[in-house]
A and B are shown apart, each in its own frame.
Chain A
Amino acid sequence: MGSAIELSHLEQVVMWAIVRLRDNAYGVTIRKEIAQRAGRDVTFGSVYATLDRLERKGMVTSRKGEATAERGGRAKLYFKISALGAETLNRAGQQLADMKRGISILTGYASSGAVL
């Protein structure tokens, strides 16, 4: 068993978005990536609350970026996954994969109410 740090579903989704975006992960792009890939429309409030939590857990790091006129002269805040974050995210993915292993057919399971 690994360390006790657990990640919620939204935390994992946000972290995967950061991984995908590489050096361009900030509020707007993270939110768009989640909407495009996960089909979830999350508010900036949720994204920032999650990022704040992840930062306190040491999963991500942030740095101030450039300010642009388009943003009213306000700086972007870029996020990056830390080494601990990458390890924890991998472990969380592995846990799910382990749980799923051996179960190949779920089609119709929810609607039929059948117990496997």
Chain B
Amino acid sequence: MTDHDDDKVKDEAIAALRGIIGALKRRVLYGTTTISASAKQSAASAALSVVLRRGETELSDLPDDLLQDLVNLGALSANYQRAEQASDESTPTDHLIDKGEESDGVAGPRDIHWPNGVEPVRATVRNELETSPPRYAELLLQLLPRNHRESFVGDHEEEYQDDVREHDKRCADRRYFREVVQEVCPLILRWVERALTLYLKLRGL
């Protein structure tokens, strides 16, 4: 492998790893209270593939933020496991979740409370909570046709993150919601129009 190929492989692996970590964080913060075994396995195998494909064990080669994410993810997972052991309930992680609302009355992402003696991984979790698009608006995008939906929703999220960086979360939320409504409204109107047409046909009008 030349140095150029080597760097390319590393960049690809890092990009894949970032994607998996992003998806995992979202799963943790949005409703799914536990990281599934397969998700953990995906993260682990992605990390492993970085090392194996590099042919060396230089984890220090990974960017600092990515390493920090890996460490936080590990701690997050460990916290869950300890919390599960500490609880006698049949759904042990339910009590960790507070279905809170943000101060402006808009339902916000769920907050996580950690049991006694467990060090929370607040910095990363808080940051993620503050920079996620409004969940209800994101759900509306699921109404769109499946074709290209993944990249379509991803594009919206990327612009949202840019807005948060350039302006603030409130402004980004507003713009995101406005854009989602712009995308979804014509679709809903078309459905209503079709339903009405069908109804009128059936009634013989």
Which A residues lie at the B interface, using CB under 8 A? 26-28, 31, 43-45, 48, 51-52, 64, 66-77
Contact = CB atoms under 8 A, between A and B. Distances in A.
29 contacts: A26-B155, A27-B152, A27-B155, A28-B158, A31-B155, A43-B179, A43-B182, A43-B183, A44-B152, A44-B179, A45-B144, A45-B152, A45-B182, A66-B19, A67-B15, A67-B18, A67-B22, A67-B23, A69-B18, A70-B157, A71-B19, A71-B155, A72-B22, A73-B20, A73-B24, A74-B151, A75-B150, A75-B154, A76-B154
A84 to B, nearest CB: 21
Given A44-B183, A45-B182, A68 B19 contact: yes
Task: Report which residue of B19, B21, B144 has the largest number of chain A beta carbons within 10 angstroms of its beta carbon.
Answer: B19
Given A26-B155, A27-B151, A67 B19 contact: yes
Interface string B1-37: 0000000000010011011111111100000000000
A73 B26 contact: yes
A72 B15 CA distance: 12
A87 B151 CA distance: 28
B77 interface: no
Interface of B: 12, 15-16, 18-26, 69, 144, 147-148, 150-159, 161, 179, 182-183, 186
A70 B161 contact: yes
Contact of A69 (B22, B155, B186): B22
A51 B152 CA distance: 12
A52 B149 CA distance: 12
Given A66-B16, A74-B154, 18 more contacts: A27-B154, A28-B155, A28-B159, A44-B155, A44-B179, A45-B152, A45-B186, A51-B148, A66-B12, A66-B19, A67-B23, A69-B18, A69-B21, A69-B69, A71-B154, A72-B154, A74-B157, A76-B151
A66 B161 CA distance: 17
Contacts of A43: 179, 182-183
A73 B183 contact: no
A69 B19 contact: yes
A26 to B, nearest CB: 7
B26 A72 contact: yes
Nearest to B133: A72
Contacts of B148: 48, 51-52, 77
A77 B153 CA distance: 11
Given A43-B179, A44-B183, A75 B22 contact: no
A63 to B, nearest CB: 11
B147 A52 contact: yes
A45 to B, nearest CB: 4
Contacts of B12: 66
Contact of A26 (B18, B20, B151, B157): B151
